[in-house]
């Protein structure tokens, strides 16, 4: 049954009870129950008409008007209280895009009282770019919807707010306006902008400095051998890796489904394992890929695999480090599972929680960004990760990815 009709029927029952009209209420309830059993989904307006006809037959005009007025008034008060308590702006505009309703939340957000804005153009009053927003509002009152549209709005004190708008047309026999729900995202936008600037500054300046330092270290190492030079070179490589990680984090921050693509599991693993074999000549490495077709992944998926593979090598204290990489379909599912197993000392609980839940506590920090990046990249790939003990006594990381929809 239509929610509005359902609520009005409930208020009718309550009003009849308050007025002591028990017989009319019982007759109304009988019609309601009979109709609800017959056709629950399609009865809203038909049932309401039947109930109103029953009221008209059983009550005189004054009593009927009083009951209906009390019912509608109660509904209006209830909805008004809900709307006014919402911690965001609720605004209603007419067909000319002029403000007709301005909630308390709108006053708190923008600083203008209702009597200052009622009857004025929404776009001209609030928008930094009135023509652009008015064009969107024209489409809105014509029957379209707005979903999370970002805009810059003016506050009464002259400052600018970054906002997000949702809107729906008011429809009846004709479209005569629209309702808007507006939230303030200024702090969120500021955090994003600061992160972008810091990341760019970090990557650009440090990358340039690292390049210069590495060049001088190479010249020094040609002249003399020193463990100090080796230590400095290792630290410089760590900084370079952090710069690359920051770049990948920024890419993920602004990614969406359009950043996903499909990968050939066999080609993907062969490429990443080939890199590892080149860098780790003493590594015992086995691969077994039994997957046909392709899988869906974020464009950074190769880096996620690199992070897991590198972690399996770097923290492996076995005399002969070993890594087994397999890929196979998951029975009865549209998923493919990649397994990377090693014979190292095992992944600490703090690192496991990063891969499985993406959480850490102030008392238990992950030691690096690699596993965080893996978790984020796999999540953006619409996949999942899990960790268990490998058959060698080390760690086995599973990455599950879905196949593309045909």
What pLDDT is attached to residue 366?
Answer: 42
* Residue 320 dihedral angles phi and psi, to the nearest 5°: -125, 100
* pLDDT for 1: 45
Residuewise pLDDT in 10s, the chain (406 residues): 444 555 555 556 566 666 666 666 566 666 555 555 444 444 445 555 655 665 666 666 666 566 666 666 555 555 555 555 566 788 889 989 999 988 888 888 899 998 999 999 999 999 888 888 899 898 888 888 888 888 889 898 888 888 989 888 886 555 578 888 888 888 887 777 666 665 665 556 666 677 777 777 777 766 666 666 666 766 666 666 656 666 666 666 655 556 688 999 999 998 888 888 877 777 888 889 888 899 999 888 888 898 888 888 888 888 888 999 999 999 888 899 999 999 988 877 777 776 766 554 443 334 456 777 788 888 888 888 888 899 988 999 999 999 998 6
**In Å, what is the CA distance from 208 to each residue of 37, 205, 212, 213?**
75, 5, 6, 9
Tokens of 286: 């086995």
- Which of 398, 391, 260 has its CA nearest to residue 328? 398
CATH architecture of 257-402: 2-Layer Sandwich (3.30)
Name the region of 358 (left: φ>0; alpha: ψ -120 to 50; beta: rest).
left
Residue 341: predicted pLDDT: 93
Q: Which fold is adopted by the domain 87-184?
A: Beta-Lactamase (3.30.450)
Amino acid 361: pLDDT: 43
Residue 302 is encoded by which pair of tokens? 């190769």
Task: Note the pLDDT of residue 120.
Answer: 93
One-character DSSP codes across 123-148: HHHHBSSHHHHHHHHHHHHTT--EEE
Whole-number pLDDT of residue 37: 46
Residues with Cβ within 8 Å of 362's Cβ and at least 6 positions away in sequence, in order, are: none
Q: Which residue matches tokens 């095992």?
A: 346
Q: Which H/E stretch holds residue 59?
A: none
pLDDT in the model for residue 161: 87
Distance CA 130, CA 97 (A): 11
> Backbone dihedral region of 21: left (phi > 0), alpha (psi from -120 to 50 degrees) or beta?
beta
Query: pTM surpassing 0.85?
Result: no
């Amino acid at each position: 049954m239509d929610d509005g009709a359902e609520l009005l029927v409930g208020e009718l029952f309550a009003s009849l009870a308050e007025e002591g009209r028990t017989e009319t209420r019982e007759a109304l309830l009988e019609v309601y129950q009979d109709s609800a059993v017959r056709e629950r989904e399609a009865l809203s307006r038909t049932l309401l008409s039947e109930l109103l006809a029953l009221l008209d037959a059983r009550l005189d005009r004054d009593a009927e008007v009083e009951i209906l007025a009390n019912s509608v008034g109660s509904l209006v008060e209830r909805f008004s209280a809900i709307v006014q308590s919402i911690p965001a702006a609720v605004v209603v505009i007419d067909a000319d895009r002029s403000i007709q309703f301005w909630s308390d939340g709108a006053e708190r957000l923008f600083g203008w009282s209702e009597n200052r804005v009622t009857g004025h153009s929404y776009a001209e009053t609030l928008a930094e770019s009135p023509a652009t927003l008015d064009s969107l509002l024209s489409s809105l009152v014509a029957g379209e919807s707005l979903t999370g549209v970002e805009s810059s709005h003016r506050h009464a004190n002259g400052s600018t707010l970054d906002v997000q708008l949702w809107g729906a047309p008011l429809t009846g026999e004709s479209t005569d306006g629209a309702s808007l729900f507006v939230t303030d995202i200024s702090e969120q936008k500021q955090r994003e902008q600061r992160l972008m600037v810091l990341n760019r500054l970090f990557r650009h300046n440090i990358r340039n400095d690292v390049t210069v330092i590495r060049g001088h270290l190479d010249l020094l190492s040609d002249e003399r051998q020193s463990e100090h030079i080796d230590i400095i070179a290792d630290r410089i490589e760590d900084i370079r890796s952090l710069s690359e990680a920051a770049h990948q984090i920024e890419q993920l921050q602004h990614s969406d489904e359009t950043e996903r693509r499909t990968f050939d599991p066999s080609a993907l693993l062969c490429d990443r394992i080939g890199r590892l074999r080149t860098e780790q000549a003493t590594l015992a490495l086995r691969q077994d890929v039994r997957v046909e077709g392709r899988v869906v992944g974020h464009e950074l998926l190769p880096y996620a695999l690199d992070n897991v593979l590198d972690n399996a090598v770097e923290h492996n204290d076995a005399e002969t480090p070993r890594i087994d990489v397999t890929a196979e379909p998951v029975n009865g599912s549209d998923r493919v599972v990649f397994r990377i197993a090693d014979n190292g000392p095992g992944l600490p609980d703090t690192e496991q929680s990063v891969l499985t839940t993406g959480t850490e506590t102030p008392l238990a920090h992950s030691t690096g960004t690699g596993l965080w990046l893996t978790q984020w990249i796999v999540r953006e790939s619409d996949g999942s990760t899990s960790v268990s003990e490998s058959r060698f006594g080390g760690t086995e990381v599973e990455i599950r990815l879905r196949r593309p929809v045909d």
